[in-house]
Structure 1
Amino acid sequence: MQRNNFTEMTEFVFLGFSSFHELQVILFVVFLILYTLTLAGNAIIVTIICIDRHLHTPMYFFLSMLASSETLYTLVTIPRMLSSLIGENQPISLAGCTTQMFFFLTLAINNCFLLTVMGYDRYVAICNPLRYTVIMSKRVCVQLICGAFSIGLAIAAVQVTSIFTLPFCHRVVGHFFCDALPVMKLSCIDTTINEIINFVVSLFVILVTIGLVIISYVFIISTILKITSAEGRKKAFATCASHLTVVIVHYGCASIAYLKPKSENSVKQDLFLSVTYTIITPLLNPVVYSLRNKEVKDALCRAMQRTIS
């Protein structure tokens, strides 16, 4: 069948949560509260790190970059989803869908590599403490951030190009944003090759980043176990606890969402999995780093005291 026999689609409509029509107002309120908390939490993290000189270290620089990336990540998808819950679901143009998917994938991949960079930072801090300031110089930190973002851009460009060169003959996306698999399902032709590309790319990103994190923590744990004092071991573990918690949640959600067998795909299951990694995970980052990190809590207290005084 020739490509020009297909009807050219110029816009798409999201199915979203239309199958939960009676719950849409409740879902809107719940998602709005979670989204507001996410924005507020990440904004507080970034602001505290900027204004408190005690937090002007590579570790907190990377944390501020992660919080900023997570904020942009949610801005790409959540506002439109919220508007569709309380109003008529407006169509999105083909160009708009392409743009949304590109920035969503770029920021999602960027977040994975930022977590890897943060793991490397902890490795240097614990395994090479005397050379930490030399190895993790400002220039190196900026290069690592730029590298993570550049990899995200490159991989997202490959995925988006492979998807939007397909001919589409359906316009209803069974999702609340332009994610890769739901958009591929709108194609009129067999998308096996595109699905393989998407799976391989997802597998590559997850395995490479989590593999590097695991390698970092193997060296970290080995070094910590050599510390003679119990207090020293406890302090060293404490510096990694927040990062490790976020890594487990982040990669757990990403693996379930993108690496599960195709036969297990269902619209409702995918919707709530997407809510997990687009709303819940970005919310957990500032919560975990605020509650489990003494330096961040102290900085918050100092900021509150200055505000009150």
Structure 2
Amino acid sequence: MDHGNHTWTQNFILNGFTTTGTLRPLAFSGTLCIYLLTLAGNLFIIVLVQADSGLSTPMYFFIGVLSFLELWYVSTTVPTLLHTLLHGHSPISSAVCFIQLYVFHSLGMTECYLLGVMVLDRYFAICRPLHYHVLMSRQRQLWLAGTTWVAGFSAALVPASLTVTLPFCLKEVAHYFCDLAPLMRLACVDTSWHTQVHGAIIGVATGCNFVLILGLYGGILRAVLKLPSAASRAKAFSTCSSHITVVALFYASAFTVYVGPPRSRPEGTDKHIALVYALLTPFLNPIIYTLRNREVKEAMKRITVRIRTILKEC
């Protein structure tokens, strides 16, 4: 077999999940419903943040950016998941496979950095309230948001590039989309060096960011505990609770998959864990940021009143 060029001429086969009989249409319908609700929920947050002046703060600007990212993040993998649920094993060209691998990891790394920026915003708001609007000016918000995207898409280049150059002897990917560990299991050569490089890049990028998040939350906790009243402490904590929930969901599942050697986990485990950070987290984010947030509820009421007024005038 020619290891020099066969990678780009063959198709891979996504195994997806084994569903039979009545379970298959049920799994497909449930996943499609979650996907559509995820798109609708994140679009709703984007529109709400843009439409209501009461949400024109740095925190909601970053929530809007996160929702925009989630639209692309979930759409990178769920269509292939739906296809495998409907048709079983699904062929995917190597070019599309590697593009999916790169885009998925780029968006994942971008979200990782964006979660760090969001806690930095909360740190400035709680620990540096007098300088908050200067520290988080509109220009700085745009710069921070743009930097997360550039950093995410740059950091994902190395793992994706190294995976593309591997010679593959097997075609069946034990996953519902093209991811690092399942693809490396198909290689004809020893991938231990690749695994070390992947672990170093992804581990340093996500690990350092996670340490930064913990450090900033440590500063927030110290500042909140110094507040004079229980009401003010509860209000300060409430602005962070949604973000803490999202961070816990994202990092717990991502660390399980991407930290440590891929061969240490049973084949096929990754695709079950991936459902948490690739499907469940984008689905839950709009719920977490709306149902637990008084300002968003008030903004929804204002928008509803405006819509009713416009309809009456018409």
Same fold by TM-score greater than 0.5: yes
Which deviations, in whole Å up to 9, do the C-alpha atoms of 1:6-35 show, x marking residues without a partner? 787432111111x33333222111111111
Distance 1:164 1:5, change over 3 A: closer
1:195 partnered with 2:195 = yes
Q: Is the 8 A contact 2:8 2:94 kept in 1?
A: no
Moved more, 56-65 or 7-16: 7-16
Could you tell me how far 1:199 is from its partner in structure 2?
A: 1.8
Q: Is the 8 A contact 1:98 1:164 kept in 2?
A: yes
Amino acid corresponding to residue 21 of structure 1 in structure 2? T
TM-score (norm 1): 0.94
Distance 1:170 1:296, change over 3 A: same
Alpha-carbon distance in 2 for matches of 1:205, 1:44:
30
Q: Is the 8 A contact 1:115 1:247 kept in 2?
A: yes
3-state SS, counterpart of residue 63 of structure 1: helix
Alpha-carbon distance in 1 for matches of 2:67, 2:24:
29
3-state SS, counterpart of residue 186 of structure 1: coil
1:222 partnered with 2:193 = no
Structure 1 match to 2:31 = 31
Moved more, 185-194 or 254-263: 254-263
Structure 2 match to 1:183 = 183
Could you tell me how far 1:103 is from its partner in structure 2?
A: 0.6
Alpha-carbon distance in 2 for matches of 1:61, 1:6:
45
Could you tell me how far 1:138 is from its partner in structure 2?
A: 1.1
Structure 1 match to 2:307 = 307
Moved more, 137-146 or 115-124: 137-146
Could you tell me how far 1:292 is from its partner in structure 2?
A: 1.1
Amino acid corresponding to residue 211 of structure 1 in structure 2? V
3-state SS, counterpart of residue 12 of structure 1: strand
Alpha-carbon distance in 2 for matches of 1:116, 1:174:
32
Where structure 2 has 5 or more consecutive residues not aligned to the other structure, the ranges are: 310-314
Which deviations, in whole Å up to 9, do the C-alpha atoms of 1:281-301 show, x marking residues without a partner? 111111111111111111112
Structure 1 match to 2:107 = 107
Alpha-carbon distance in 1 for matches of 2:182, 2:166:
13
TM-score (norm 2): 0.93
3-state SS, counterpart of residue 166 of structure 2: coil
Alpha-carbon distance in 2 for matches of 1:134, 1:61:
16
Structure 2 match to 1:284 = 284
Q: Is the 8 A contact 1:9 1:170 kept in 2?
A: no
Could you tell me how far 1:172 is from its partner in structure 2?
A: 1.4
Where structure 1 has 5 or more consecutive residues not aligned to the other structure, the ranges are: none
3-state SS, counterpart of residue 233 of structure 1: helix
Moved more, 235-244 or 4-13: 4-13
Alpha-carbon distance in 2 for matches of 1:58, 1:257:
32
Structure 1 match to 2:312 = none
Structure 2 match to 1:20 = 19
Write the mapping of 1:76-225 to structure 2, written as runs, cut at 5 A: 76-87=76-87, 89-225=89-225
